[in-house]
Chains A and B, each alone.
Chain A
Amino acid sequence: MAIVSPGFHGRRRADPDLPPGQYLTTDFPVLSAGPTPRVPADRWQFTVTTETGAATTWTWADLTAMPARDVTVDIHCVTKWSKLGTTWRGVPVSAFLEDVDTAADYAMAHSYGGYTTNLPLDDLLDDQAWVAYRYDGDDITPEHGGPVRLLVPHLYFWKSAKWLRGLTLMLEDSPGFWETAGYHDYGDPWREQRYQGD
């Protein structure tokens, strides 16, 4: 006689594409911690500053002349929405670090408007992170971080800094805007690292 577990078949199977605690959304919620910076593309600049203070700056013309990738990625916000299959165009962050002499293990992303977020440098390399300037076939709107935002989809989306203007390379880790207010230092959605201590 077969053993039947009535509860098993009736239970809804979790979506394997959704990290724990997340729900699926098809729109693109706008979260913002302050006024939306309006930075014209022709005035946008991106500066990588090493731990010694050496700085290299790229303009919009420089960025858009670099070899870009079109990527399709899932994004996961710490406020529990996830959006699957989003399409972006950007330049891998590693392309900006090729000629940079650094011993840093961490980076702080800086935004126009003052936002910051910290990441291990390794998480910005090897096709894990992009300096993105197009979303869904169009320029990125200011509300979604345009003209240029960081895209680090394997971490909660607060790490994908909007209105990106620079990376500061650091020998020691240092918390950014949300990381100083209770949010997790790393923010892996698959390990549900929302808050400090998770």
Chain B
Amino acid sequence: MTASVDGNALAGALREIFAVDVTAAVVRCCGCGQAGAVAQLTVWAHAPGLVARCPGCSDVVLRVVRGPDRAWLDLRGTVALEVALPAE
């Protein structure tokens, strides 16, 4: 049986690409406009890549594919990622 997991499953793959913990960022879905933490996305990990879907409308919000020496990040389902930073 295939089951999804939450967005914390993205932490390792995204840490390789970003210098911040992206699972704490707020992501807004292109499909329905719902915003929430990346960690709250529904992630399908038993696949050729990580497929993260909106918990509201189930549209694909982001995808990460890890090759042996490269990674692909598809954000076409993401309106914006809001990343908290230290105050200047």
Question: Is there an interface contact between B74 and A181, defined as CB atoms closer than 8 Å?
Answer: yes
Annotate B51-65 by CB proximity to A: 1 below 8 A, 0 otherwise. 101000010100101
Q: Which residue of B lies closest to A36 (CB)?
A: B2
- Which chain B residues lie closer than 8 Å to A36 at the CB level? 2
Q: Is residue A78 within 8 Å, beta carbon to beta carbon, of the partner chain?
A: yes
Interface residues of A in 19-58 (CB under 8 A from B): 29-36
Of A33, A35, A143, A181, which contacts B72 at CB under 8 A? A181
Q: Is residue A85 within 8 Å, beta carbon to beta carbon, of the partner chain?
A: no
* A32–B63 CA distance with the chains assembled, in angstroms: 13
Of A34, A79, A158, A195, which contacts B44 at CB under 8 A? A34
Question: Is there an interface contact between B2 and A31, defined as CB atoms closer than 8 Å?
Answer: yes
- Which chain A residues lie closer than 8 Å to B58 at the CB level? 34-35
Question: Is there an interface contact between B70 and A195, defined as CB atoms closer than 8 Å?
Answer: yes
Task: Count how many chain B residues have C-beta atoms less than 8 Å from C-beta atoms of the other chain.
Answer: 20
| Nearest CB in chain A: distance from B47 CB, A | 5
- Which chain B residues lie closer than 8 Å to A190 at the CB level? none
Q: Which residue of B lies closest to A158 (CB)?
A: B48
Annotate A154-194 by CB proximity to B: 1 below 8 A, 0 otherwise. 00001000000000000000000010111100000000001
- Which chain A residues lie closer than 8 Å to B67 at the CB level? 182, 194-195
* A35–B2 CA distance with the chains assembled, in angstroms: 9
Residue of A31, A79, A182 with most partner-chain B CB within 10 A? A182
Question: Is there an interface contact between A33 and B74, defined as CB atoms closer than 8 Å?
Answer: no
Question: Is there an interface contact between A182 and B72, defined as CB atoms closer than 8 Å?
Answer: yes
* A36–B4 CA distance with the chains assembled, in angstroms: 11
- Which chain A residues lie closer than 8 Å to B36 at the CB level? none
Which B residues lie at the A interface, using CB under 8 A?
Answer: 1-2, 4, 44, 46-49, 51, 53, 58, 60, 63, 65, 67-68, 70-72, 74
Provide 7 A-B residue pairs closer than 8 Å at the C-beta atoms, listed in order of the A residue: A32-B47, A33-B47, A143-B1, A158-B48, A181-B65, A195-B67, A195-B70
A-B pairs, top 8 by smallest CB distance, nearest first, are A182-B72, A182-B65, A33-B51, A32-B2, A195-B67, A33-B47, A181-B65, A30-B2
Besides A33-B51, A35-B58, 15 more A-B contacts (Cβ < 8 Å) are A30-B1, A32-B2, A32-B44, A33-B44, A34-B51, A79-B48, A143-B1, A143-B2, A180-B74, A182-B49, A182-B71, A183-B65, A195-B65, A195-B67, A195-B68
